[in-house]
């Protein structure tokens, strides 16, 4: 009997990476899962998601196969979550909400609603700016832009 050759370390790393990606669940699948649970019926969930019912059923079967557990009991009036399904759905809901928060945060930065804006001006304009917004002689800072942060400088 020939001696068995041990796999190279590089091959083992490739197998490990492949095993991780084979087990990965996509956000789209989690959104489908939450929609099916909310609707209680695969057909109604398909309508809400704008996908065909057979495609959604296939995606659900594929997800159940990937996870190795049945998520829903199917019956004539729709579906109900199994015990394992309820726990998976709870985690899926949390993941979908977290993903929505990620895109909302990026959107705030994209629209300029968050972040730091630094404004500078050329020193030759400093004299005009100081005269226009100088505090009155009585020492009051009521008209000062430092005291009124929302004031438009009229550029």
Q: Residue range 138-151: average pLDDT?
A: 52
Over residues 141-151, mean pLDDT: 51
pLDDT digits (tens, 9 = 90+) for 18-59: 666 666 789 999 999 999 999 999 999 999 999 999 999 999
From residue 6, alpha-carbon distances to 3, 12, 45, 124, 134 in Å are: 9, 10, 49, 75, 81
Q: Is the domain covering 9-111 a CATH 3.90.79.10 domain?
A: no
pLDDT for 130: 60
Rounded CA-CA distance 78/108 in Å is: 39
pLDDT in tens, 86-112: 999 999 999 999 999 999 999 998 888
Note the pLDDT of residue 7. 58
Most distant CA pair in the chain, distance = 104
Instruction: Tell the residue number behind the tokens 């695969």, with chain if given.
Output: 42
Tally DSSP H helices, then E strands, for the chain.
6, 2
Going through 31-98 in order, the beta strands assigned E by DSSP cover: 72-75, 78-81
């Amino acid at each position: 009997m020939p001696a068995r050759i041990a796999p190279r370390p590089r091959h083992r790393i490739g197998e490990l990476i492949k095993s991780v990606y084979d087990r990965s669940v996509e956000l789209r699948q989690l959104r489908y899962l939450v929609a099916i649970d909310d609707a209680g019926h695969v057909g109604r969930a398909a309508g809400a998601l704008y996908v065909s019912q057979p495609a959604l059923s296939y995606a659900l079967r594929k997800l159940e196969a990937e996870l190795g557990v049945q998520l829903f009991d199917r019956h004539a009036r729709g579906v109900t979550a199994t015990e394992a399904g309820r726990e998976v759905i709870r985690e899926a809901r949390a993941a979908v909400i977290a993903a929505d928060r990620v895109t909302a945060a990026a959107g705030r930065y994209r629209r300029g609603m968050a972040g730091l804006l630094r404004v500078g001006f050329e020193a030759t304009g400093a004299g005009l700016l100081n005269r226009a917004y100088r505090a009155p002689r009585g020492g009051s800072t009521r008209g000062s832009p430092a005291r009124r942060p929302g004031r438009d400088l009229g550029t």
